[in-house]
Amino acid sequence: MKKSQKTLTLLVLLIGVAIIGFTTYQLTQTNQSASRNSGKALIGGDFTLTDQNGKTVTNKDFEGKYALIYFGYTYCPDVCPTELQVMTGALEILGDDAKKIQPIFISIDPDRDTPELMKDYVSNFFPGMVGLTGTKEQVAIAAKAYRVYYSKAVEKGADADSYSMDHSSIIYLMGPKGEFLKHFAYGTDPAKLAKGVKAATKG
């Protein structure tokens, strides 16, 4: 390779590194600025939904306690029940410390997940778990506040009610004032979740 070609290649690489570094810096600054300017965490926020008893609730109704929040849907064949079992197992491990934590399951499938269905579904998990659903608009607002991705997936030739929901799978730990404390990725086991929750809520 000629010297001029080597120089050009090196210059391109340096420019590429500079662009990546600047972009990362800008994203970090934007996130920090948004947090400072709003005074709020970038995850969490206001929502109005309906619980499994048909009562209208807002995020304010859960203030005063820590909350473990998971977004999913009752027709989910494996991921959602698995994660809710993980939450249940973690709360059982925590024992008396679980009394200060409210487990919450929020549906991203309002077309099918009625309050009645949510009531039956959450009864299979930790006692006191709250199931929340609502209109499409209400669910979209809640999901956006928690940066949750979801999308209806309909197989070709299937009937209108036979569909699944693609969605992110994250357990959120929120503080007594609704502030974001920590998140746990899919695959976290009950013991690790319990340990993380206890560390974040001690004192």
For the chain, 203 residues long, the average pLDDT of each consecutive 10-residue run is 41 32 34 44 91 97 97 96 98 96 98 97 97 98 97 78 92 97 96 97 82
Task: Give all strands (DSSP E) within the chain, no chain letters.
Answer: 48-51, 56-58, 66-72, 101-107, 130-133, 150-154, 163-167, 170-174, 180-185
Distance CA 167, CA 15 (A): 37
Q: Please indicate, yes or no, whether residues 106 and 20 belong to a single structural domain of this protein.
A: no
Q: According to the model, what pLDDT value does residue 17 have?
A: 30
Amino acid at 150: Y
Domain count, the chain: 2
Its domain, for residue 28, covers 1-39
Q: According to the model, what pLDDT value does residue 31 have?
A: 38
Q: Please indicate, yes or no, whether residues 67 and 166 belong to a single structural domain of this protein.
A: yes
Q: According to the model, what pLDDT value does residue 15 have?
A: 31
Q: Please indicate, yes or no, whether residues 62 and 106 belong to a single structural domain of this protein.
A: yes
Bin 153: left if φ > 0, else alpha if -120 < ψ < 50, else beta. beta
Q: Please indicate, yes or no, whether residues 132 and 89 belong to a single structural domain of this protein.
A: yes
Q: Please indicate, yes or no, whether residues 72 and 1 belong to a single structural domain of this protein.
A: no
User: What one-character DSSP code corresponds to residue 165?
Assistant: E
CB under 8 Å to 91, separation ≥6 — which residues?
Answer: 68, 98, 101, 103, 126, 194
Distance CA 58, CA 48 (A): 4
Q: Please indicate, yes or no, whether residues 84 and 27 belong to a single structural domain of this protein.
A: no
Backbone φ and ψ of 32, nearest 5°:
-65, -40
The β-bridge relationship of strands 66-72 and 101-107 is parallel
Q: Please indicate, yes or no, whether residues 25 and 122 belong to a single structural domain of this protein.
A: no
Q: According to the model, what pLDDT value does residue 203 have?
A: 63
Q: Please indicate, yes or no, whether residues 177 and 81 belong to a single structural domain of this protein.
A: yes
Q: Please indicate, yes or no, whether residues 61 and 156 belong to a single structural domain of this protein.
A: yes
**CATH code of the domain in which 173 resides:** 3.40.30.10
Q: Please indicate, yes or no, whether residues 88 and 180 belong to a single structural domain of this protein.
A: yes
Q: Please indicate, yes or no, whether residues 92 and 29 belong to a single structural domain of this protein.
A: no
Q: According to the model, what pLDDT value does residue 41 have?
A: 55
For the entire predicted model, the pTM comes to 0.79
Q: Please indicate, yes or no, whether residues 53 and 110 belong to a single structural domain of this protein.
A: yes
Q: According to the model, what pLDDT value does residue 66 have?
A: 98
